[in-house]
């Protein structure tokens, strides 16, 4: 019986740009553009500088860009840095429905530097991105997003497989070597959720960096003849049984080449965890409609999904990362400031007494499942100090697959995130990215 890893490898190696639907190519390119913006913004953050300086000290000179900087390195270490930069400030893309994957950080971060190092074309990068997405999504889907129930940060697990596929294709691996790359990737998965409970949030950014680096390492070793177990996914001690609590192995290979999960890409509007996006959208709507101030608020009640109750009901965040992970804090921030600007998620805001008071006086409960129109459905109620109560329901936000960002919104986000960078000219790079399928080589993408 053919293993799931081999079936996925055969699909990835056999995928051709010409058979990928135009809508899928467009979503892949949109995700890459969005991620380049996120990496550029991330490059200026203190925890990112630590990684950038580490790569500078460690890597020999190379052709691969550390996006948002003027530095170039070898592909694998550039992938490490880019993964950290992409996930540096809760700005990178996800999927809906969620299966515990971050496609932009997991695929763009290793894909661009390896494509640059190998001198690949824009079409080759896009094809590799789609193949990596389709494989990675199915692995996350088969795990039923249950890794986080036992303490793992799912993108640090699934991202290694996606990174192995995207970089493996750019390295021109055949089916046998791609199967081995997936087998190796399974032993490189990592990432614990404890950062959400006791501070130390810098490590969360590292999870996507290590996933990107691990994917590139797995592909590189497989290219040189290194082997890994073919039953890495469904085996007794394979990925699903080791890292997931609820599994559905047939989902590993279901609908390959027919169902394009790349279309499920979801882009963020705000620099916070995705579970906060609908509550924040509701808060902005309520504030705009009733014109009250943050200082007028006595308490907030949020009815939303179960994951917020179990993972994101943090009323005393200890650092910026925990604040971005906290739905009560993100809503409190949105009731005081404009969360569309990622720069408002800051130490200054974290220490703002008014924001902290609203966060502290926020209760989170589960939205009735019988009334939910989406997994994000939220009822937000604000009680003002004068005793009046204001409520609003929200079920989605711009950036979800059903409400994708327009080209103008994507461009506006890109320019907001890249404002002030000295590493490249944003207008020129965006023009190249928008014409990615026509680039003969992505090596000079940021020149």
pLDDT tens digit string along 138-151?
999 999 999 999 99
Strands 378-384 and 265-266: unpaired
Enter the tokens of residue 181: 């790359």
Q: Are 321 and 201 in contact (CB under 8 A)?
A: yes
- The full set of domain ranges for the chain reads 4-269+403-438, 274-394
Torsion on CA atoms 189, 224, 135, 209, rounded to nearest 10: 40
- The share of the chain scoring above pLDDT 70, in percent, equals 100
Q: What superfamily in CATH does domain 274-394 come from? A: 2-methylcitrate dehydratase PrpD (3.30.1330.120)
The angle formed by the CA atoms of residues 345, 346 and 350, to the nearest 5 degrees, is 95
* Interacting residues of 419 by C-beta distance below 8 A, sequence separation 6+: 426
Rounded Cα distance between 436 and 179, Å, is 28
- Whether the bond into 97 is cis, omega within 30 of 0: yes
Q: Diameter of the chain by CA atoms? A: 71
- pLDDT band per the 50, 70, 90 thresholds, residue 197: confident
pLDDT band for 80, please (50, 70, 90 cuts): very high
pLDDT for position 160: 98
pLDDT of residue 39: 98
> Is 369's pLDDT higher than 90?
no
Architecture of domain 4-269+403-438: Orthogonal Bundle (1.10)
Q: Where are the beta strands (DSSP E) in 348-428?
A: 362-366, 378-384, 389-394
Which pair of structure tokens corresponds to residue 380? 């937000």
Residue 24 has pLDDT above 80, yes or no: yes
175 sits in which H/E element = helix 175-185
Q: What is the 3-state secondary structure (H, E, C) of 103-143?
A: HHHHHHHHHHHHHHHHCCCHHHHHHHHHHHHHHHHHHHHHC
Residue-wise pLDDT for 392-441, tens only, equals 999 999 999 999 999 999 999 999 999 999 999 999 999 999 999 999 99
Q: How far apart are CA 43 and CA 85, in angstroms?
A: 6
Q: How do residues 152-176 score in pLDDT, each as one tens digit?
A: 999 999 999 999 999 999 999 999 9
How high is the mean pLDDT of the chain?
96
Q: What is the 3-state secondary structure (H, E, C) of 234-262?
A: CCCCCHHHHHCCCCCHHHHCCCCCCCCHH
């Amino acid at each position: 019986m053919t293993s799931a890893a081999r079936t996925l490898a055969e699909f990835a190696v056999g995928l051709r740009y010409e058979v990928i639907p135009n809508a899928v190519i467009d979503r892949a390119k949109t995700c890459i553009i969005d991620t380049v913006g996120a990496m550029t913004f991330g490059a200026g953050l203190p925890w990112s500088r630590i990684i950038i300086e580490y790569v500078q000290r460690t890597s020999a000179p190379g052709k691969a860009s550390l996006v948002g900087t003027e530095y170039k390195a070898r592909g694998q270490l550039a992938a490490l840095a880019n993964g950290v930069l992409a996930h540096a400030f809760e700005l990178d893309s996800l999927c809906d429905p969620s299966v515990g994957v971050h496609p932009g950080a997991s695929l763009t971060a290793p894909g661009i530097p390896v494509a640059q190092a190998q001198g690949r074309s824009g079409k080759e990068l896009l094809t590799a991105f789609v193949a990596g997405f389709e494989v990675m999504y199915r692995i996350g889907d088969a795990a039923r997003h249950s890794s986080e129930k036992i303490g793992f940060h799912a993108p640090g697990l699934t991202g290694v497989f996606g990174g192995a596929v995207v970089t493996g294709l750019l390295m021109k691996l055949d089916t046998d070597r791609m199967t081995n790359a997936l087998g190796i990737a399974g032993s490189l998965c990592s990432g614990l959720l404890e950062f959400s409970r006791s501070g130390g949030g810098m490590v969360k950014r590292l999870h996507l960096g290590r996933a990107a680096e691990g994917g590139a390492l797995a592909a590189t070793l497989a290219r040189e003849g290194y082997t890994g177990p073919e039953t890495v996914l469904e085996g007794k001690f394979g990925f699903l049984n080791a890292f997931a609590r609820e599994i559905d192995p047939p989902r590993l290979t279901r609908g390959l080449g027919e169902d394009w999960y790349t279309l499920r890409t979801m882009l963020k509007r705000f620099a916070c965890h995705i579970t906060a996006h609908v509550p924040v959208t509701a808060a902005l709507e309520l504030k705009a409609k009733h014109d009250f101030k943050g200082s007028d608020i006595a308490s907030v009640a949020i009815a939303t999904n179960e994951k917020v109750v179990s993972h994101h009901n943090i009323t005393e965040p200890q650092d910026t990362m925990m604040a971005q992970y906290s739905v009560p804090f993100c809503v409190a921030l949105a009731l005081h400031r404009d969360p569309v600007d990622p720069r408002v998620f800051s130490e200054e805001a974290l220490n703002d007494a008014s924001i902290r008071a609203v966060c502290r006086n926020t209760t989170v409960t589960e939205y009735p499942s019988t009334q939910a129109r989406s997994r994000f459905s939220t009822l937000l109620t604000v009680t003002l100090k004068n005793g009046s109560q204001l409520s609003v329901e929200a079920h989605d936000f711009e950036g979800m697959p059903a409400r994708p960002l327009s080209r103008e919104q994507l461009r506006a986000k890109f320019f907001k995130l890249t404002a002030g960078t000295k590493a490249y000219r944003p207008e020129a790079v965006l023009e190249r990215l928008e014409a990615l399928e026509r680039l003969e080589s992505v090596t000079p993408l940021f020149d």
